[in-house]
Amino acid sequence: MDSPHESRHRVVVLGAGMSGLCMGIRLKRGGIDDFVIVEKQPGLGGTWWDTRYPGAQVDVPAPAYAFSFAPNPDWSRRFADAAEIQSYQQALAGREGLLPHLRLGETLVEACWDEAAAEWRLRTAAGATLHARWLVCSTGPLSPPRWPDLPGLDRFAGPRLHSARWDDAVPIEGRRVGVIGTGSSAAQLVPPLARKAARLVVFQRSANWVLPRLDRRYHALDRWLARRPAYARLVRRGWVGVLEQVRRGFDDGHPMRFLLHSLAHGLRHAQVRDPALRAALAPRYPLGCRRLIFSNTYYPALARPNVQLDTTPIAAVEPDGLRLADGRGHPLDVLVCATGFDTARPLAGFAVHGLGGRHLDDAWAEGAQAHHGISVAGFPNLFLLLGPNTATGHTSTLLFIEPAVEHVLACMARTEAAGARAIEVRAEAMAAHNAALQARLVGSVWSRCHSWYRAGNGRIVALFPGSAAEYAAAVRVPREHDYRLHDGAA
Ligand code: NAP
């Protein structure tokens, strides 16, 4: 019999963000009840649990940020804020009966494939053991926060915040605040901080492409209409179609590229009067190489009298502020690092040992890769959701999560129907898939700047180059020849 610290499950899902919840819902709806969702945070939501900085909003229209099978007619605005998305997730988990399956506040630290038993043996940080036939890792690429590699960072005497680990208790009102970073997170948190801080300095290493945000409040009529399934479907499809058109703007010479350039240029000229500031905000890399920023409030915030944009490289962090490469100092009370996530190595901090004890880190020594971002050769019965090369710079991740979940369920069903012990992607199928993917990425817009899409060796490990529809068509039904079943004598 299992000890209180030992449990057995048909499926263990790691992470209670959008992809973990989607997996749980589809398991439950498919009649599979023997599963747990293990989440290190004390609440569900994944990145939406972590993202609590002021101004945090989804950066695609909310109708495209609800599952196709669970529309939300109650969005208060087109670009819903983080708290509203977290409420959607919470309500969904409750409605779909997922709450009893959640193991919150538990961190999985190790997974070992036991070939003899054909199961994963998992260990938590607190020392509990879980056995599972299937392991689904749904931690996504945007999980561990990345702090800037600046000398003296730990010596800063005041509060130091990261955009992905916000602490509301830190007062901003009347303080001198420094923000390092100018990506999607910074563009959202700078405007509300600028309204509160006595003085705000934004430290920019690279200027990014900013486009107008077509935001608006949803009124009672919108919500009434959104309760009509045909209308809700139409709106969702409409936005997905618009976002795919934006993607066309990443192709050299496409008219959409011209339109996006004009919109970005127009916004900068309309919102930034000071020519020196405008010049400093002009991006120096091709549009689309990093995720686009949609904001109507970022540039006006930078133009406020209490806000300064400083583009001089930071030399060091000192106890009372930042020292720049030209010797100037910025005294600060609060330091905000909007410096993104450690994305080069998915599942960092979680030691995964597959067939023959092979460590996933060794399999990924040249950069993370998987078959369609989902399965890794040598790691049977393991699936990743939002794994390598499934991120996009233009659309909703949910469009990638849903078909990947169907792929996982189909693999499980095939294995169990065949009476096999396990399923594993063929190394040659995975290699061919990745060779084709990398060939498409050579010379693409994403190869022309550094970004979180790339590993240290330059390989583009996070981004999918095609449309969401292409990804869905490729993965929804796994190709039989891509996988091999481990039979009873394995
Ligand atoms: P990010 O795009 O990786 O941006 C990090 C920023 O920090 C960059 O401006 C970077 O400069 C700067 N930085 C890093 N280290 C630095 C250093 N040592 N000195 C100076 N500057 C430094 O991170 P993010 O803004 O958190 O966004 C990451 C992703 O999260 C986005 O692309 C998006 O997919 C997602 N996101 C989504 C939402 C949403 O849906 N609402 C909101 C926020 C984020 P360089 O550019 O020069 O490297």
Looking at residue 488, its pLDDT comes to 64
Nearest residue (by CA) to ligand 1, atom 22, is: 181
How many structural domains comprise the chain?
2
Centre of ligand 1 to C-alpha 339, Å, is 5
Please work out whether the CB of residue 142 comes within 6 Å of at least one atom of ligand 1.
yes
b/e string for 404-441 if b means 16 or more Cβ within 10 A?
Answer: bbbbbbebbeebeeeebbbbbbeeebbeebbeebbeeb
* CA–CA distance, 17 with 316 (Å, rounded to integer): 35
Check pLDDT > 60 for residue 490: no
Ligand 1 atom nearest 339 alpha carbon: 7
Question: Please, which pLDDT band fits residue 489 given cuts at 50, 70 and 90?
Answer: very low
- Percentage of residues in the chain having pLDDT higher than 70: 99
Can you tell me which residue has the tokens 């849903």?
402
Ligand 1 atom nearest 56 alpha carbon: 41
Cβ contact 323:216 at 8 Å: no
Domain boundary pick from 312, 337, 362: 337
332 and 381 inside one domain: no
Cβ contact 346:139 at 8 Å: yes
278 and 358 inside one domain: no
Ligand 1 atom nearest 186 alpha carbon: 25
User: What are the pLDDT digits (tens) for 374-431?
Assistant: 999 999 999 999 999 999 888 999 999 999 999 999 999 999 999 999 999 999 999 9
195 and 287 inside one domain: yes
Looking at residue 140, its pLDDT comes to 84
438 and 386 inside one domain: yes
150: CB partners within 8 A, 6+ apart: 180, 314, 316, 317
431 and 380 inside one domain: yes
Centre of ligand 1 to C-alpha 338, Å, is 6
| Mean pLDDT, range 78-106, rounded to an integer | 97
* CA–CA distance, 393 with 225 (Å, rounded to integer): 30
Centre of ligand 1 to C-alpha 290, Å, is 9
Check pLDDT > 90 for residue 299: yes
115 and 184 inside one domain: no
Looking at residue 487, its pLDDT comes to 85
Looking at residue 141, its pLDDT comes to 81
Looking at residue 74, the DSSP 8-state letter turns out to be: T
Looking at residue 117, its pLDDT comes to 96
Cβ contact 96:24 at 8 Å: yes
- Residue to substitute in 57, 185, 394 for testing ligand 1 pocket (most ligand atoms within 8 angstroms of CB): 185
- Percentage of residues in the chain having pLDDT higher than 90: 93
Beta strands in 346-386 (DSSP E): 351-353, 382-384
Check pLDDT > 60 for residue 1: no
Centre of ligand 1 to C-alpha 450, Å, is 11
Please work out whether the CB of residue 205 comes within 6 Å of at least one atom of ligand 1.
yes
Cβ contact 446:287 at 8 Å: no
Question: Please, which pLDDT band fits residue 349 given cuts at 50, 70 and 90?
Answer: confident
Centre of ligand 1 to C-alpha 454, Å, is 13
350 and 332 inside one domain: no
Mean pLDDT of the chain: 95
Check pLDDT > 70 for residue 4: no
Of 299, 308, 289, 273, give the one whose Cα is nearest residue 210. 299
| Mean pLDDT, range 276-280, rounded to an integer | 98
| Mean pLDDT, range 337-344, rounded to an integer | 89
CATH number reported for the structural domain that contains residue 67 in this entry: 3.50.50.60
Residues paired with 274 in a beta bridge: none
Q: Which helix (H) or strand (E) holds 400?
A: helix 398-417
User: What are the pLDDT digits (tens) for 138-188?
Assistant: 998 887 899 999 999 999 999 999 999 999 999 999 999 999 999 999 999
Residue 288 sits in which domain range? 153-209+268-337
12 and 90 inside one domain: yes
Check pLDDT > 50 for residue 18: yes
132 and 167 inside one domain: no
Nearest residue (by CA) to ligand 1, atom 20, is: 205
Of 370, 373, 369, give the one whose Cα is nearest residue 391. 373
289 and 396 inside one domain: no
| Mean pLDDT, range 123-141, rounded to an integer | 96
Cα–Cα distances in angstroms (integers) from residue 451 to residues 393, 396, 434, 458, 463, in the given order: 11, 19, 20, 9, 10
Nearest residue (by CA) to ligand 1, atom 3, is: 340
348 and 333 inside one domain: no
Looking at residue 3, its pLDDT comes to 64
331 and 428 inside one domain: no
Question: Please, which pLDDT band fits residue 128 given cuts at 50, 70 and 90?
Answer: very high
Looking at residue 256, its pLDDT comes to 96
Check pLDDT > 60 for residue 451: yes
User: What are the pLDDT digits (tens) for 46-68?
Assistant: 999 999 999 999 999 999 999 99
* CA–CA distance, 403 with 469 (Å, rounded to integer): 10
- Residue to substitute in 339, 392, 396, 464 for testing ligand 1 pocket (most ligand atoms within 8 angstroms of CB): 339
269: CB partners within 8 A, 6+ apart: 278
Structural domain contains residue 217: no
Please work out whether the CB of residue 58 comes within 6 Å of at least one atom of ligand 1.
yes
Check pLDDT > 70 for residue 219: yes
Centre of ligand 1 to C-alpha 461, Å, is 17
Looking at residue 186, its pLDDT comes to 98
